[in-house]
Amino acid sequence: MASIKGKTIWITGASSGIGRSLAIELSKWPCNLILSSRKKIELESVKEVCGGSGNISILPLDLKDHDQMTRITEKATSFYGKVDILVNNAGISQRSLIKDTDMSVYKQLIDVDYLGTVALSKAILPHFLGQKSGHYVTVTSLMGKFGSPYRSGYCGAKHALHGFFDVMRMEHEKDGVKVTLVCPGFVRTNVAKNALTADGTPQKMDDTATQNGISPELAAQKIIRSVENESFEVNIGGKEISGAYLKRFFPKLLHKVVLKSQVR
């Protein structure tokens, strides 16, 4: 089992939800934290909740700025001289039917959830290769393993992340680079409220399944455990986790179950 003690951990999407809870939980450990999101004020607030110590740095980041990732990565590595773990947590969700969804919404989902994550991960790869160690912890979703109505673009982007990082692990295991794919189900965050609708505007409302999901604090604890275990992949959530296994062994049954229990 690997230890995160003394590690430098960079978390994207750290201003709210799972990222925020992960930052708070990790602040209890003797490690350095770099907190990123588009919202600098919220990041400063998270830092204060974490104790405002000198081993927590703020680095604003917009995943849509693909061309800026090399510069941002250089800034990240300058804080503590290295980055040991990159937690790719930032992203947006979707709630709209395929027939109603504008192509611009699909483009935004791919630009942020997939290409933004890929661009950042590629930018830090030379650093990981240079120090002969590094760990990508990429928060995808159970929707990266099976689909659900109203989430076509989100599912597509998350499925793509699984393909990319499975290959990242295969190509660079020999170089000391590790990959953990984290697949949350329903977690009590603002993911549904912030989800894009058919025209690209936020949904601004929660759903029952999200409200009844596990706490982000519990999700954060499970993520830390998976990092220490150097897990290839981990599913986090409640009974919805069973969908990942139904998809593999009983896909027609999963189809019926999802349609019967679908939520927006």
In order of their start, the domains of the chain are: 8-261 (3.40.50.720)
Check residue 142 and report its DSSP letter: G
Spell out where 96-238 has E strands. 134-139, 177-184, 233-236
Q: Say yes or no to pLDDT of 263 above 70.
A: no
245 belongs to the catalytic site: no
More confident residue, 34 or 53: 34
d(CA 73, CA 127): 9
Secondary structure class of 143 (helix, strand, coil): helix
Across-strand partners of 88?
138
- Amino acid symbol at 15: S
Element (H, E) at 21: helix 17-26
Secondary structure class of 139 (helix, strand, coil): strand
Across-strand partners of 213?
none
Q: What is the pLDDT of residue 210?
A: 86
Q: How far, rounded to the nearest angstrom, does the alpha carbon of residue 19 sit from its chain's CA centroid?
A: 8
Is residue 58 a contact partner of residue 82, using CB atoms and an 8 Å limit? no
Reported as a pLDDT band with limits 50, 70 and 90, residue 212 is confident
d(CA 146, CA 141): 9
Of 207, 205, 99, which is closest to residue 152 (Cα–Cα)? 99
User: CA of 134: how far to CAs of 100, 104, 179, in Å?
Assistant: 41, 34, 9
Is residue 161 a contact partner of residue 115, using CB atoms and an 8 Å limit? no
| Backbone phi and psi for residue 50, each to the nearest 5 degrees, phi listed first | -75, -5
The pair of three-digit structure tokens given for residue 255, joined into one six-digit string? 């189809």
Mean pLDDT confidence for 153-179? 98
Q: Say yes or no to pLDDT of 2 above 80.
A: no
Q: Say yes or no to pLDDT of 260 above 90.
A: no
Look over the chain and give the mean of its residue pLDDT values, rounded to a whole number.
95
d(CA 136, CA 132): 13
The pair of three-digit structure tokens given for residue 248, joined into one six-digit string? 């593999």
Catalytic residue, candidates 114, 136, 150, 154? 154
d(CA 16, CA 181): 20
Q: Kindly report, residue by residue over 110-155, the tens digit of the pLDDT.
A: 999 999 999 999 999 999 999 999 999 999 999 999 999 999 999 9
Check residue 191 and report its DSSP letter: T
d(CA 88, CA 14): 10
In the chain, what is the straight-line distance between the N-terminal and C-terminal CA atoms, in Å? 39
Secondary structure class of 12 (helix, strand, coil): strand
pTM of the full structure: 0.95
